[in-house]
Amino acid sequence: MADPRASELLEEIAKARATAALFDLAACSPVGAGVLTFVGPDARRFCNGMFTNNIRNLPVGRANQNAMVDDKARIQGLHDLACLADSTDGGAHFRATLEGVSTEAFVARYEKYIIFDDLELTDVSEAWRVLSLQGPEAASILAGAGLPVPEAEGDVLPLGSDPTAATITRRARCVAGGFDLCVPASEASTWAERLGLPFSDAATFERLRVEAGLVRWPVDMGERALPHEMRVVPRMCNFEKGCYIGQEVINRIDVMGQVNKKIWGLVGATLPEPGTEVKVGEDAVGTVLSGVQEDGYTRALVLLRKAAWEPGKLVDAGGIPMTVSDLPFTAR
């Protein structure tokens, strides 16, 4: 008997591709999507010294994506950081949305660095929920609901009179792009009703993000991953800012190009299991990480050694013939 949920999933995915889908990011991750704030006169300087992107010059009303790395540049988590306010009296206010790392781990990691700094790091996950509206009709849905539509990727607009409260950010989490809404947790269902969409599930979210060739930590790589290996450097690392944890290693890798493995794509007719060894002839060149299949067409993310960094190259994934693809994937 056919799985009715499989049919529902395909319908959900088709609708997301054609119009849009709404996700509760906390329900799309095993550790949730924690929300934290950095507030105080030293918040900007502190964040700039902790994270990989340029927070020093991040203006109010803008957000960027960051990697949390250790002193050897190994990724410990990812997050989006938005600058919501920055007044002359020292009232800098930043809000982080976590990916792949729990709020407990995040706070434990960074509280120890707050010694003489004038700022407060606060877990506000219970108060706020991040909803993600993704798809080609996302902007039209926002406008139809009477909501502002941020123009450029990373633009942040308030959803009320208080810029440090509910916000909407242009944030692409699928091929067509979309928006993240940070709203009071108690009003999440009300916002879904206002947008006229039910919440889609984690399986649909996963399908859209793999199709877009977007890597996800730690699903695709664990705590020994480097930003260059995960191919997040263009959107998460800045080379013109001041010193930060892991900067020396990241800069050295960028200058010398010394990574021997990184994430690529594979396409084929059959989906290999995560963890499947990838070979060229008798030589092991990689490992399958995650993938999706539909109508006999597969897209998978693979950690691939330099010997196979060649779009169109034929490889063997556990007996399944596949072809190497650069990321993002080209249209089917």
Interval 54-90: pLDDT, tens: 999 999 999 999 999 999 999 999 999 999 999 766 6
Looking at residues 315-329, what average pLDDT do you find? 96
Please provide the average confidence, as pLDDT, over all residues in the chain. Answer: 94
Fold for the domain defined by 4-211: Gyrase A; domain 2 (3.30.1360)
Peptide bond into 148 cis (omega under 30): no
Which pair of tokens denotes residue 104? 């407990």
Measured between its terminal Cα atoms, the distance across the chain in Å is 30
Domain coordinates of the chain in residue numbers? Answer: 4-211, 260-332
* Residues contacting 13, CB < 8 A, separation 6+: 204, 207, 208, 294
CATH topology of domain 260-332: Elongation Factor Tu (Ef-tu); domain 3 (2.40.30)
Q: What confidence tier does 1 reach under pLDDT thresholds 50, 70, 90?
A: very low
What is the dihedral sign for C-alpha 121, 123, 124, 130?
A: positive
Query: What is the percentage of the chain residues whose pLDDT exceeds 70?
Result: 97
Residues 239-250 pLDDT 10s: 998 899 999 999
Q: What is the spatial distance between Cα 174 and Cα 135, in angstroms, rounded to a whole number? A: 7
Whether 151 has a pLDDT exceeding 50, the answer reads yes
Burial class (CB in 10 A: 0-12, 13-18, 19+), 194: middle
User: pLDDT tier at 5 (50, 70, 90 boundaries)?
Assistant: low
User: If pLDDT is split at 50, 70 and 90, which confidence band does 258 have?
Assistant: confident
Taking residues 160-165, what's their average pLDDT? 94
**Which distant-in-sequence residues (6+ apart) come within 8 Å of 223 by Cβ?**
74, 75, 76
* Tens-place pLDDT, residues 210-255: 999 999 999 898 878 999 999 999 999 999 988 999 999 999 999 9
Strands laid side by side in the 167-170 sheet: 21-24, 128-134, 178-184, 167-170, 156-158
pLDDT of residue 242: 83
Q: Calculate mean pLDDT across residues 186-215.
A: 94
Give residue 10's pLDDT: 82
DSSP element (H, E) containing 21: strand 21-24
Instruction: Starting at the earlier edge strand, list the strands of the sheet with 62-69.
Output: 62-69, 75-85, 93-99, 35-39, 120-123
Backbone φ and ψ of 185, nearest 5°: -55, -35
- Residue 2 banded pLDDT, cuts 50, 70, 90: very low
**Structure confidence at residue 227 (pLDDT):** 96
